[in-house]
Structure formats: C-alpha cells, structure tokens
Chain A
Amino acid sequence: MAMKNLTDAEIIESVKKGNQADYSILVDRYKNKAFTMLKRMLKNDFDAEEVLMDCFLKAYNNLSSFKFESKFSTWFYRIVYNSALTRLSSAKRKIENEMSSVDDLHYLESKFSADEYLNEEKSELIKKMINELPPKNAAVITMFYLEEMSSEEISEILQISVANVKVILHRSRNLLREIIEKRNLVQEIL
C-alpha cells in the first residue's frame, strides 16, 4: 500500500537499483491515461494496446538514460506520442492524416451536423467526434483534459510551440461548440 504512494522519481530510483518489480507501479499508474491517448490517436483498441506495451518496454530499457531533467510523465508521454506517430506513418493512415490537418476541421463540423447522427446519444456523438479528430488534436485534448497538463508541458511533449498547443486546443473546443449549436443541443446540455 505504501509503495503506491511513492513518487515517480522514488520508483525509478528503486527500479534502477534492481527492483524490477517496482516498475509495475509505474505501469499501473500510467496505463489507462496513455491507453486513452493512444486509442484516440490510433482509433482502435488493438493497435493502442500493442503500442502501449512497446512504450513501457522502451521506457524501461531507457530508464538508465532518464536524468530527472523533466518529469517522468513528460518523458513517458513523449515516447507514447512518438510511438503513435511511428505507427501512424503506415501509408494509408499517413494520407488520411495529411488530409485532416490541424487547420482543417470543417469537414468534421459538417459531418457531425448531418442527419445521419441525429438520433445519436450526446455522449456517443462526442466520443465519435473525438475519434475523428486528427492525432495531434486528440493528443492535445487528452493531455489537457485527462492528464490535466499545462500547455507548456504539452508543447514540450509534442515539440511544438505553446501558442500552437493553444490554437489546437481552442480549435477543437470551437469545433465541439459548433456541433452543439448546429445540432441544437444547447438546451439539452445546458
């Protein structure tokens, strides 16, 4: 029980000293949030779990090079984000990603305003919309809302400027607002 209250740095020190089993605390601590981010980026459970497994193995193998210059979470999410991008670089997905750039979210706005989604449950609609977001937007949304990371931390992980992180965040939020307005969900939600 006491082990679960240890900080990331303490656990890493313990693992570095040879207590390999302590690494399971870190796995338990980060697996759900990292899985959610990967699922939203990769759009399927199987790939998300496979990449996540790979990320934990990579992090373990490189733990000796982790010098506590940043938080473990920042370092680990950078591995997660880069691994997701590597997986996404397969030809078909690459084309899809290029088509749905950060600047172009209008296709989603019209898609989810269509009659096809008229009878969809609100929460399901939101999940589907997030699933359709470009990987970078999905990653930013997950880190900001689920991990409650600051824009600065996200910018460090994604290796983009803080201003760019904010642009992505605001555009994603504006997109959801547009959908709520167009679907006349305002009264239902408010």
Chain B
Amino acid sequence: MKYLNDELLNKYIDNELNLEEKELVKTSIERSLEVRKRYETLLKAHSLFKSLGEESPSIDFTKLVMNKLNKKSVLAQQQKYFLLSILSILGVAIAGITGYALYQVISSIQPSQSSEFVTTYSKDIGDYVSNLFGQKNLTILGSVLSFIMLISGYFLYDYQKHSKKDFSH
C-alpha cells in the first residue's frame, strides 16, 4: 500500500481533500493499523487544541477601556478648543493688518472722492491701528504673535503626529 503522509491526514481532518483523495485516506485508515493509529493520535491532538478554553483579562477591563476613552475624548476636545481660540486670535490680527493696509491704500489714492462719513471712520480705525502697530507696541505685539504661532505650530505638529501614528496600525 502507498505510504500515507501526515499532510494528507491533516487535510483529511480539515476536510480539504477531494472525493478521490478522501476515499484513499479512508481506505488506508480502515486497512492499516499503523495509519489508523497515526490518524487517531492526530485527531486527538486536534481535539485537544479545540478543547482549550479561552482566558479572560481582569474583571473591570471593559470599564478601564471605557474610562480611558472618555478621558481621551475630553482631552481631545480641550485641545480642539485651544487650537480654535489661537486661530481666532490670529484671524483677528490678520483682519486688523488687512484693514490697516486697506485704509492706507484708500486714503493715499482717492482722498477727495471718499465721503466724509467713510473718511471719518476710516481715519479713526486707521489711527487706532497705527497706534497699535506703533513703534512702542510693535515689538510686544510681534513677540506675542510669534509666541502664539510657535505654540499653535507645536500643537498642530503634535496632532498630526498622533493621527499619523494611529493610522499606521
């Protein structure tokens, strides 16, 4: 009789053989004591693996996971609000600079065509912005803006890094 290797016996157990192969293995098991012994022991190994139960982590594991998730979402929200407030401050600063630049352009190009109303308010805003960006305040404002940009840059980088790390898994 042709020698029946373990590979065929394993495939027979896993029901991966075609009809012809199945018949060959079945006949070999019935006719040969050696093959039957090998098959039965292999089948027992299969049953033993199957009988091994699952194990469980600590009782409060689910609670621990959910607590961590809650903490994380609160932190993420705080970070989001922080970023939003920084972006708002930057937005206001940019709007101020743009306004000042516009006032300078309007007052230098068409001073005679501007109505008195617009001129008065533009002058007020211009004076305020000029004062704000005056030599005295410019250094302080520049430092504050740089600081804010550095902080927001750091948080943006940190946020990007975490997102990248999460997606890599």
Where the two chains meet, the residues of A that have a C-beta atom closer than 8 Å to any C-beta of B are 20-21, 23-24, 27-28, 31-33, 35-36, 39, 45, 48-49, 52-53, 56-58, 60-62, 65, 79, 82-83, 126-127, 130, 141, 144-146, 166, 169-170, 172-174, 176-177, 180-181, 186, 189-190
Decide if A33 touches B54 in the complex (CB within 8 Å): yes
Q: A32-B54, A35-B55, A49-B58 are in contact. Are A173 and B65 (CB under 8 A)?
A: no
Contact of B69 among A31, A35, A60, A181 (CB under 8 A): A60
A57 and B165 CA atoms in complex are apart in Å by 12
A147 and B82 CA atoms in complex are apart in Å by 44
Closest residue of B by beta carbon distance from A189: B44
Residue B62 at the A interface, CB < 8 A? Answer: yes
Q: How far is the CB of B30 from chain A (nearest CB, A)?
A: 17
Decide if B6 touches A145 in the complex (CB within 8 Å): no
B58: which A residues are within 8 A, CB to CB?
A: 49
B49: which A residues are within 8 A, CB to CB?
A: 126, 141, 144-145, 172-173, 176
Task: List 21 contacting pairs A-B, 8 Å CB cutoff, sorted by A.
Answer: A20-B70, A21-B66, A23-B65, A24-B65, A27-B61, A27-B62, A31-B57, A31-B62, A32-B56, A32-B57, A49-B57, A58-B166, A62-B167, A65-B167, A79-B169, A83-B169, A145-B49, A146-B54, A174-B10, A180-B44, A181-B41
A170: which B residues are within 8 A, CB to CB?
A: 6-7, 10
Give the number of A-B contacts (CB < 8 Å): 109
B37: which A residues are within 8 A, CB to CB?
A: 186
Decide if A173 touches B42 in the complex (CB within 8 Å): yes
A189 and B44 CA atoms in complex are apart in Å by 7
Q: How far is the CB of A129 from chain B (nearest CB, A)?
A: 10
Contact of A27 among B10, B44, B66 (CB under 8 A): B66
Q: A62-B169, A83-B169 are in contact. Are A56 and B52 (CB under 8 A)?
A: no
B41: which A residues are within 8 A, CB to CB?
A: 177, 180-181, 186
Contact of B65 among A27, A83, A190 (CB under 8 A): A27
Give the interface residue-count category, chain B: 35 or more
B13: which A residues are within 8 A, CB to CB?
A: 173
Decide if A31 touches B56 in the complex (CB within 8 Å): yes
Decide if A61 touches B66 in the complex (CB within 8 Å): no
A60 and B166 CA atoms in complex are apart in Å by 10
Decide if B46 touches A173 in the complex (CB within 8 Å): yes
A20: which B residues are within 8 A, CB to CB?
A: 66, 69-70, 73
Decide if A61 touches B65 in the complex (CB within 8 Å): no
Decide if A126 touches B52 in the complex (CB within 8 Å): yes
Closest residue of B by beta carbon distance from A173: B45
A33: which B residues are within 8 A, CB to CB?
A: 54
Residue B118 at the A interface, CB < 8 A? Answer: no
Best-buried of B6, B44, B48 by chain A (most CB within 10 Å):
B48
Residue B72 at the A interface, CB < 8 A? Answer: yes
Q: How far is the CB of B116 from chain A (nearest CB, A)?
A: 55
Residue B132 at the A interface, CB < 8 A? Answer: no
Residue B4 at the A interface, CB < 8 A? Answer: no
Decide if A62 touches B55 in the complex (CB within 8 Å): no
A61 and B65 CA atoms in complex are apart in Å by 12
A49: which B residues are within 8 A, CB to CB?
A: 57-58, 61
A28 and B62 CA atoms in complex are apart in Å by 7
A2 and B45 CA atoms in complex are apart in Å by 39
